[in-house]
Amino acid sequence: MILQQCANGIFLGAVYALFAIGYTLVFGVLDILNLAHAAIFMAAAFIALWLVGTGVTLPLAILAAVVFAGLLGVLLDRVAFAPLRRRNAGTLVPLISSIGAAIIIQGVFRGLFGPDERAFPAGALSTKQFHLGTLTVGALDLVILATALGLMLGLSYVLRSTALGRSIRAVAGDRVAAALLGIDLERTIALTFFIASALGGAAGILIGLQYNSVSPDMGGRIELKGLAIIVLGGMGSVTGAVIGAFILGLVETLAVAWVGSSYRDAIAFGVMFVLLVVRPSGLLGKRALRAA
């Protein structure tokens, strides 16, 4: 029984991780809390849904929607954040700007697809299940886990071993110094948004598949949970976000199994609040706050 819950927790954690990585990446590089991340999460799910509806095969639809999410992220930065960078606007202003962008994106998709919940067309999703001893695992779950892990490994490779990854880490460490070293700031930032938003979009698609439900409001809950995860993992730390996501996925699933589901969400926020008060740098965060 516990094994089953753990497995479920891991599947949940994997998707949480994909979402949280994008959040923390942007925060780490730009010190911005991008509240439009959840809107892109939702938008990608709708694009995948729509593509599948027009007959595109699922893997291709996922790929196209992920790329769409990445591009939407770049556009988001161009419109909502880049102008603010130019005028040195502080940290509250980009946050509000991201809210504005999120509202626009939500409004567009609500208008295009209507406010109701939608499901993937019958037959598009595999319902096959595997049985390994006491474990029951769906084929869909495995695909989701594999995709999530694959994307995370891909990101890890990029960050560790490519020039782009080095640029991103440099800009995250010290923007001014990075610019002085000749790093093209705007290009690095745009690519960071592409990656972060693509991952967030992937999370949206996978969650949409997992629960077979896509709606314009689906970003709302995960947006706030994502905050809890990146605080737990340490804001700005990608590894921390992944660890935090899996921890939260496991703890939530196990807690629901044992204690019941009504307080499930409170776990995330309770942990987050306590951490912020006691250890704001989280597990691996580089940014301990300083009282002014």
Partner 1 sequence: MLQFFAQHSKLIDEIGINALLALSLSISLRAGSLALAQAAFMGLAAYVGSIGAVRFGWNLLEATLAGAFAAAVVAAILALPIGRLRGVFLAIATIGFGEIARIAEINAPITGGAEGFSNIPNDAGTVAIYAALVATGLALALFGRSKAALALAATREDESAARGVGIDVAAVRLRTLVAGAIVAGVAGVLYAHANFFITPGDFGFPRMEQILVSCVIGGVTSSLGAVLGATLMTVLPEAVRFLHDYREVSTGAILLGFILFAPGGIAGLWERRA
Question: Does 74 contact partner 1 by CB under 8 A?
Answer: no
Among 63, 164, 257, 265, binds partner 1 (CB under 8 A): 265
Tokens of 220: 């709302």
Nearer to partner 1, 71 or 89 (CB): 89
Q: In this structure, are residues 141 and 132 in contact, taking their beta carbons and an 8 Å threshold? A: no
Question: Does 62 contact partner 1 by CB under 8 A?
Answer: no
| Binding map of partner 1 across residues 99-138, x = CB under 8 A, - = no contact | xxxxxxxxxx-xx--xx-----------------------
Is 131 buried (19+), middle (13-18) or exposed (0-12) by CB count in 10 A? Answer: exposed
Nearer to partner 1, 158 or 267 (CB): 267
Question: Does 153 contact partner 1 by CB under 8 A?
Answer: no
Among 33, 49, 195, 205, binds partner 1 (CB under 8 A): 33
Question: Does 211 contact partner 1 by CB under 8 A?
Answer: no
Among 91, 126, 129, 161, binds partner 1 (CB under 8 A): 91
Q: Tell me the closest approach of the beta carbon of residue 157 to partner 1, in angstroms.
A: 29
Residues of this chain that interact with partner 1 (CB under 8 A) are 31, 33, 79-80, 83-84, 89, 91-93, 95-97, 99-108, 110-111, 114-115, 220, 223-224, 227-228, 231, 262-263, 265-266, 269-270, 272-273, 276-277, 280, 289, 291-292
